Structure 1
Amino acid sequence: MWYVVMAGKGREKIAIEKCRNALSTDAAVNIFAPTYQYLKRYSGKWNLEEDWLFPGYVFIESNLPNELEKQLKRIPTTVVPVRIGGGFNPIYEEERAILKMLIDENNCIRMSCGIIVDNRLIVEKGPLNNCQTYITRIDRHKRIAELGIELWKEPRRIKAGLEVRAKLTASEYDAGRIA
């Protein structure tokens, strides 16, 4: 199960390191803060960048929630357990499944690439390939897609890198005209 702790924006790396040092491997199987890749233009060229998917938050995978919560009390200045519904509860399994579908083994949503055909996105490669129904907005200029997902049954917006190579009509797509 995945539990979420608040570390504070800009303190994610420090919190991950302190949690790895303070928590036993029994209580915390994996400690991570998911990231996403995107392209940013500077110095005249596009560069691959990475940013936090949930700024200020760290995820902890644990099968012993009571032990985890007890051990987290040893580092109160580093992280604070996120309490939803009156307790330190994990994110729902279906929400975890969506995040696992998006992130790779390094807990990162890699860049995706696609085309738009008659105002319908076709993702050709990348983790957004199976998650097109979650995309709520595309910013072609910034090469970013916004996704609407849920955490604890509450709507959240996350970003993911998406390069749209072309915008075509169906006849242009059928004729194989991709820029």
Structure 2
Amino acid sequence: MIDIWYLLYCPRQNERKILNSFKRNMSKAALKDAFIFTYDRMRKFQGKWHVEKQLMFPGYVFLESDNEKALAEEWQQHKGVENFLQEKKAILHVQKKEELFLTSLCKEARHLGMSKGVIRDGVTLITEGPLQGMEERICRIDRHKRLARLKPPEGSVSGSILAGLEIVEKN
């Protein structure tokens, strides 16, 4: 059977709790894996720049299953999720092209490291890091916060994606 990804809405700051609960309590027949995506970003405090790990999709947990029926039955009976299951669209199907994009971007670690780049004559060139070769996906760069906003594949359920990007030179 083919593995399918689902995006599960959960209350913010409860992502890891829900993730661990699903991993602990769901059967292998219903749930192949549960995970979250993270990314590195730079933050300045106490006069120095520090790398911090952030959630790429706050308020969401990804579920991977090859048995949609078993997953639906078990997640509706799962203790601890009753409060947010009343939400519309609590669980969404992730399109294959979005799954492939996230996998190519974050690899199996499901983590997006920092990238570095330069801007020459108004054109962004990524010189190192996971965003190399993905310059056409960058729709906005915040040089002050050292972040880039990436366009997801067409029809994506996850919206735009933040990634750490330090521009080291601009001319």
**Normalised-by-shorter TM-score class:** 0.7 to 0.9
Task: Give unpaired runs (5+ residues) of structure 2.
Answer: none
Given candidates 53, 56, 60, the residue that maps to 1:57 is: 60
* Correspondence 1:39 to 2:47: no
Q: Which residue of 2 aligns with 1:174?
A: none
Give the gaps of 5 or more residues in structure 1: 169-179
* Equivalent in 135, 146, 151 of residue 149 of structure 2: 146
Residue 104 (structure 1) aligned to one of 100, 107, 111: 107
Give distance in 1, aligned partners of 2:144 and 2:68.
43
1:31/1:126 CA distance change after superposition, 3 Å: same
Task: Flag the 1:12–1:154 CA change in 2: closer, same or farther, 3 A.
Answer: closer
* 1:136-173 deviation digits (Å, cap 9, x = unpaired): 100111100011214754571221000111012xxxxx
CA contact (8 A) 1:137 1:147 kept: yes
> Identity of counterpart residues, as a percentage?
30
TM-score (norm. length: structure 1): 0.84
Cα RMSD of the aligned pairs, angstroms, is 2.3
Q: Which amino acid in 2 is paired with 1:19? A: F
Q: For 1:68 and 1:81, locate their aligned partners in 2 and report how far apart those are by CA, in whole Å.
A: 17
Does the 8 A contact of 1:5 with 1:82 survive in 2? no
CA contact (8 A) 2:40 2:164 kept: yes
Report deviation, 1:44: 1.3
Q: Which residue of 1 aligns with 2:138?
A: 135
Partner of 1:126: 129
Under a length normalisation based on structure 2, what TM-score does the superposition of the two structures give?
0.87
Q: Which amino acid in the other structure matches residue 73 of structure 1?
A: Q
- After superposition, what is the alpha-carbon deviation per residue over 1:107-155, rounded to whole angstroms, capped at 9, x for unaligned? 1111111111111111111111132111110011110001121475457
Q: Identify the residue that residue 161 of structure 1 maps to in structure 2.
A: 164
CA contact (8 A) 2:101 2:153 kept: no
